[in-house]
Structure 1
Amino acid sequence: MKTRLLIAIAAMTFATCALGATPTTLKLQKGATTVPATTPVGGAPFASLEQDPGMSAGDADSGEDEELGQEPVVNRTIAHGHAGLNHMGHGSRAKSNPQLAGGFDGLDFYDQRYANGGNQFSVEPPDQGLCAGNGYVLESVNDVLAIYDRAGHQLVGPVDLNTFYGYPAAINRTTGAYGPSITDPTCYYDADTRRWFHVVLTLDRVGTTSSLSGTNHLDIAVSQTADPTGAWTIYHLPVQNNGTQGTPNHGCNGGFCLGDYPHIGADANAIFLTTNEFALFGSGFYGAQIYAISKRALAAGAASPNVVLFNAGDPSVPAPAFTVWPAISSGGQYAGAHGGTEYLLSSDAVFYDSGTSDTIWLWSVSHTSAIDTAPMSLTLDVSPVNVQTYAVPSSLAQQKPGSTPLRDCFATPGCAPTYLGYPNIVYPAPRPMAVNDSRMQQVSFANGKVWGTLDTDVLLGDGSHGSGIAYFVIDPKSAGVFANGTLSLPDANLTYGAAAVTQSGRGVIAFTVVGPNDHPSAGYAGLDALQGAGDVHIAKAGAGPWDGFTGIPYLAGNRPRWGDYGAAAAEGNTIWLASEYIAQSCTLAEYLTPPLFTCGGTRGALGNWATRISKIQM
């Protein structure tokens, strides 16, 4: 399974006006009730089976097929060019952080791997989700969640996601039985209904074996009150889209589609979930899928809420549909035109041989107020937005030198064979770290505008190429641009930007800062519709280099991973940020001191990512 998918759209002519598409109606499957409860953390520090053999590390837009010791099962690859841009962005380092009102360390690799008594796989990257409201902050990563109060006290967690959704453990290390494979968590607190929404992609197994059965679904947990530590109702939305379980048949190669990379948004009437649809057992990308679900029915715990599906990959849609990210509306502020409207954004540089574009796409789903009574009246439209040229970042990020015990063990004769069971291999010290591609990241609707960010190639001060954050503030009525620019530093990469915006239109972008003078750090910058992005602030400096397993051929292919997304959430005049960073550092000697590989409970054998939750007072 080494083929790559190239979607040649450069020669296509896109319509300059919006075009509708016919929806499909579906029904949700209501499941059980769950209450988040802390699971024990522990278990053996290392096992012969550390990665899920039923999954691939292959990543959409990566340009690479990656393996977990075998041919990839899921080929999420879109080929593209890497021409790069020959200009710098704007940005400088702030000397102080007057708006930083606090912060705390969130979940990390140790929590993820050793939750539920260690009956978890090693997972990288974390895919960080964050939502906040009613005095609580909820963070979720692959594959655990935790709930905090506003002071950062952990009230519940870590809770492994298999347990939270009522499934057997990801891997029972006593019996060898597999539970479903869960990935890509995201969450949202809806101030209108005072409900919490948590979403994951779940892939079913053939019995309790490692093999995937083909069926996969978005699992949607909805809190029954405004308190996320209480009871939640689980819903299941099948997304294999092959004509089974009430799904339409999209003809995916190998017989099953995959609802990859789900993300959440909302307007006054509906919760919106979007996916990138790939073939599960073959190569092929089939376009983004947009699901609208009755928000009132979900909040009420209804037996079968209405669902409307738009296949944005349909040939009638005049736009390339990849990572169409729905907007989160701040504080119950929604677009009321056309019977209720949800806005979404996407980018398209990935589809061109040059890897560059000067267009993003503004999508809208209108007449959402009819979702409970006349769901077929919902309409989908899309329009191009002319923006500054952006590009798929063309290089990996160099890191500030520091201790990397996993890398050092692979480089030290006899260490990896003795302790990890793999041959020695020598890498640069430290290994370069991945930046994001050019897909759209978190989108907000606030103060009547649509706000979004994505990673873009920039020219650094030494003439090399790196990553910066392109930002967009769009007028949804005209598809005009209020603010558009590129935030970057001359000596560091900024990657995986996620913006949140208050009702009054004051925003913050969260991201990771990494470069030859910076360990991976939690950074942020202000965002304004008139002034654009401000200075780069460091909310928490990294303590050491990234030292994870992805990119090591024996473990997870040739491409290191970081991301795949951060998160931010507005709560009144407070904006909460979630950024991946490195919170610890230890030597090879400490790594090999019993209990092995954990460096005193600060990392796992195969990774050391951590997350930082920051509180910005606007």
Structure 2
Amino acid sequence: MRRVTYLAMAAAFGAATSVVAIAGPAAAADNPLVSAGSVRLSGIVATTGPDRIGDPEFPVAREGHDEGEGGEPPATSGPAVRSARVAAAGREVSVTFPGINHRDQRLASNGNQFSLEPPDQALCVGPGHVVESVNTALRVYDKAGHAVTPTIGLNEFFGYTPGINRTTGEFGAFVTDPICHFDPDTGRYFLAILTIDQDPDTGNFTGKNRLDIAVSRTSDPTGDWKLYKLPVQNDGTEGTPDHGCDPIAPADAGPEVTSPGACIGDYPHIGADKNGIYLTTNEYSLFSDGSNGGAAYTGAQIYAISKRQLVAGVDKPTMQMFESPKLGPFRSFTVWPAIAPKGQDSRANGGTEFFLSSTLGDGSETGNTAPSEKRIGVWSLTNTRSLDSATPNLRLANKLVPAARYALPPESVQKPGPTPLADCLNDRSDTFGPGVGCWGLFFDTAPTTTEELSGLDSGDTRMQQVLYADGKIWGALGTAVQVGGQTRAGILWVTVEASVEKGRLAARTDETGYVAVAGHDVSYPALAQTRSGKVVMAATLVGTDHYPSATYTVLNSGRPTVRVISEGVGPKDGFAGYEAFGGGRPRWGDYGAAAMDGDRLWLASETIEQSCTLAEYLTGGIGSCSGTRTSLANWATRVSAVTL
């Protein structure tokens, strides 16, 4: 969840340098994955909450885990690269429509939701439907972009009480980081989230957390789904191994803390081959930073689950877990499993799933505090067909291979425009009484800082969505670049050729390149491939001439052109990043999404789809700007189909 931040306020977290063959997955007998019943999506009675700022949440910002509380690597300007062209997309975009936005997510479940930033976004597309999940909400569309379900809270979908009951004040589970995949081999949707238990009275974390997994019974996502729970606190409870995560100090542990040494299965991602569904997490201490004798960060965790057994609805599907594997001298971090176009997954070596990872992070996870890097990690998991047996025999291997240079990207710079929330916080007029400006909607006393248009968090150098196509592994990650005489955020993409011969992983970098735009920032890539072999990257473009906008770029067609699918219409104006709400990172998006659907690719990116002034913000439903946002945030998502 990469510090999913939420407010509970007034509407308010080449040549190899090393090869490792990793045996020792958790024994099948230790499998904690269990059935959790079923749900019919169309049977959920979804309601939209009232649009009023007078629903108090709570008076302080509440944050989840922040990956990166260790030291950051030294600032660097990044590699010098050539600017890509920018052009408007054309008729190749056959469908485009606004997806779930902050208002939709916040008012779902009868308004019993929190305000969250950024819009963590999942997308999966089957024969008749598009499923989008953002943060704590889910919606299904037809392929013309028409909603066929209301916006449904993920708490309801997975059988939990709402995140916050605004009538009783009772807390439910905290859910975050949705991931989704439609599997063309089985015709099923797979959806998963990270769920953290909260004390119902205080909202404090208890320590127990899990991956909730849902598998559709048919290719119609509005029908029945089978549910599973996979505990990931990894403290020795509920059948999990004990990874020695740093415990909460006894003086800080209230009676609600039932797992004081809990880890957290953060930032989950999903991949698939013919035989398995693969979930990966980054594992941190949930409660502490390493000062109490345990580990603040242990490494990535890899969970391999029998796809056939999930689809069959077996109550306890076979699962193998690989615990905190190393990558050469580094701790593993964001080991992203690949997805493949239909029929292109690797059948060699009894079935092989590939993964990619970077080696830099911000230093607190990998242990690498260098200012930049020129290596990435390639991973293989072989004999995946054994997942269907009573005694699976999987083999995990990894290898460091050269890549072009990458470095921690700077914040993205926004084009100036209306920022009614910032203006509200800065208002020192008598809007709501003598000496009480617009800030009085949120606070008892006037903020002491003057808010300015925030930048956007461009992420870090972790690997983003990974693709296996035509025998190559494609990956992309954020990096600082020198373009147009400035240091900006850009994208490094890379392809790797990999094979496993006699149990040994062989891999080399094939192609690599950058996508960067002078005067602009490009962030949060997601990759997919057309039937004709074109690899397309979805991303956000923001800068001198563009508000946050949804784009696509064909990577394997010479000099890249960033094509704007949907122009943003204003700057991001949300609570994350504003000092009055605690400052911190100006959250934008932890990941976008891309899905393959025959001749069409479906792309999802964060955008801004509304704009209004302070006067409009204070007219009618306060903070809603005529029903286009909430008082605290205005992020949106854009879903598009591209045929190339």
TM-score exceeds 0.5 = yes
Q: Which amino acid aligns with 1:560?
A: P
Residue 267 in structure 1 maps to residue 273 in structure 2: yes
The within-5 A match list for 1:104-115 is 104-115=97-108
> Cα distance 1:287–1:52, how it changes in 2: closer, same or farther (>3 A)?
farther
2:33 alignment counterpart: 28
1:87-121 deviation line (CA, Å, top 9, x unaligned):
12441113553422220000000001111111000
Distance in 1 of aligned mates of 2:49 and 2:491:
38
Distance in 1 of aligned mates of 2:599 and 2:192:
26
Q: Secondary structure at the match of 2:568?
A: coil
Q: Secondary structure at the match of 1:45?
A: coil
Runs of 4 or more consecutive aligned structure 1 residues displaced over 6 Å after TM superposition: 51-54
The within-5 A match list for 1:197-236 is 197-236=190-229
2:360 alignment counterpart: 349
Residue 592 in structure 1 maps to residue 592 in structure 2: no
More displaced, 98-107 or 370-379? 370-379
2:490 alignment counterpart: 468
> Cα distance 1:427–1:131, how it changes in 2: closer, same or farther (>3 A)?
farther
User: Shift of residue 27 of structure 1?
Assistant: 3.8
2:73 alignment counterpart: 80
> Cα distance 1:484–1:50, how it changes in 2: closer, same or farther (>3 A)?
farther
Q: Secondary structure at the match of 2:19?
A: coil
> 8 Å contact 1:513–1:522 — kept in the other structure?
yes
> 8 Å contact 1:308–1:375 — kept in the other structure?
no
> 8 Å contact 1:385–1:480 — kept in the other structure?
yes
1:303 alignment counterpart: 315
Equivalent of 1:153 in 131, 137, 146: 146
> Cα distance 1:375–1:236, how it changes in 2: closer, same or farther (>3 A)?
same
1:138-157 deviation line (CA, Å, top 9, x unaligned):
10101101111110010012
> 8 Å contact 1:467–1:495 — kept in the other structure?
yes
1:330 alignment counterpart: 341
Residue 340 in structure 1 maps to residue 366 in structure 2: no
More displaced, 229-238 or 411-420? 411-420
1:398 alignment counterpart: 413
The within-5 A match list for 1:121-160 is 121-160=114-153
1:257 alignment counterpart: 263
Distance in 1 of aligned mates of 2:57 and 2:494:
40
User: Shift of residue 425 of structure 1?
Assistant: 4.9
5+ residue gaps, structure 1, are 1-13, 64-76
Distance in 2 of aligned mates of 1:420 and 1:481:
52
Residue 389 in structure 1 maps to residue 405 in structure 2: yes
Q: Which amino acid aligns with 2:545?
A: N
1:39 alignment counterpart: 46
> 8 Å contact 2:88–2:565 — kept in the other structure?
no
Residue 485 in structure 1 maps to residue 513 in structure 2: yes
> 8 Å contact 1:519–1:582 — kept in the other structure?
yes
> Cα distance 1:54–1:328, how it changes in 2: closer, same or farther (>3 A)?
farther
Q: Which amino acid aligns with 1:333?
A: Q
User: Shift of residue 498 of structure 1?
Assistant: 0.8
> 8 Å contact 2:426–2:451 — kept in the other structure?
no
Residue 436 in structure 1 maps to residue 459 in structure 2: yes
1:487-522 deviation line (CA, Å, top 9, x unaligned):
100110000111112355322101111112211111
Q: Secondary structure at the match of 1:410?
A: helix
Equivalent of 2:603 in 577, 601, 616: 577
> Cα distance 1:388–1:86, how it changes in 2: closer, same or farther (>3 A)?
closer
> Cα distance 1:425–1:111, how it changes in 2: closer, same or farther (>3 A)?
farther
User: Shift of residue 424 of structure 1?
Assistant: 3.1
More displaced, 275-284 or 415-424? 415-424
Residue 452 in structure 1 maps to residue 449 in structure 2: no
Q: Which amino acid aligns with 2:39?
A: T
Q: Which amino acid aligns with 1:432?
A: G
**TM-score with structure 1 setting the length:** 0.91
1:286 alignment counterpart: 298
Q: Which amino acid aligns with 2:427?
A: T
1:53-103 deviation line (CA, Å, top 9, x unaligned):
795255324x5xxxxxxxxxxxxx563332231512441113553422220
Distance in 1 of aligned mates of 2:411 and 2:154:
31
Distance in 2 of aligned mates of 1:570 and 1:318:
36
1:609 alignment counterpart: 635
More displaced, 283-292 or 473-482? 473-482
Instruction: Kindly tell me the number of residue pairs found equivalent between the two proteins.
Output: 586
1:373 alignment counterpart: 389
> 8 Å contact 1:51–1:122 — kept in the other structure?
no
Distance in 2 of aligned mates of 1:471 and 1:27:
36
**TM-score with structure 2 setting the length:** 0.87
1:115-138 deviation line (CA, Å, top 9, x unaligned):
111100000001011011112111
> Cα distance 1:103–1:53, how it changes in 2: closer, same or farther (>3 A)?
same
Distance in 1 of aligned mates of 2:21 and 2:58:
44
> 8 Å contact 2:449–2:579 — kept in the other structure?
no
Residue 555 in structure 1 maps to residue 568 in structure 2: no
Q: Secondary structure at the match of 2:397?
A: strand
1:534 alignment counterpart: 560
Q: Which amino acid aligns with 1:607?
A: A
Distance in 2 of aligned mates of 1:376 and 1:50:
48
> 8 Å contact 2:18–2:328 — kept in the other structure?
no
> Cα distance 1:95–1:235, how it changes in 2: closer, same or farther (>3 A)?
closer
1:146-186 deviation line (CA, Å, top 9, x unaligned):
11111001001200110111110110000000000000001
User: Shift of residue 338 of structure 1?
Assistant: 1.1
5+ residue gaps, structure 2, are 1-15, 248-260, 290-295, 429-435, 500-505
Q: Secondary structure at the match of 1:377?
A: coil
User: Shift of residue 312 of structure 1?
Assistant: 3.0
User: Shift of residue 472 of structure 1?
Assistant: 1.1
1:412 alignment counterpart: 427
User: Shift of residue 460 of structure 1?
Assistant: 3.1
1:186 alignment counterpart: 179
Q: Secondary structure at the match of 2:63?
A: coil
2:168 alignment counterpart: 175
2:376 alignment counterpart: 360
> 8 Å contact 2:420–2:617 — kept in the other structure?
yes
Q: Secondary structure at the match of 1:371?
A: helix
The within-5 A match list for 1:236-247 is 236-247=229-240
1:4 alignment counterpart: none
Identity %, equivalent residues: 43
Q: Secondary structure at the match of 2:425?
A: helix
More displaced, 354-363 or 503-512? 503-512
Distance in 2 of aligned mates of 1:564 and 1:296:
30
Q: Secondary structure at the match of 1:213?
A: strand
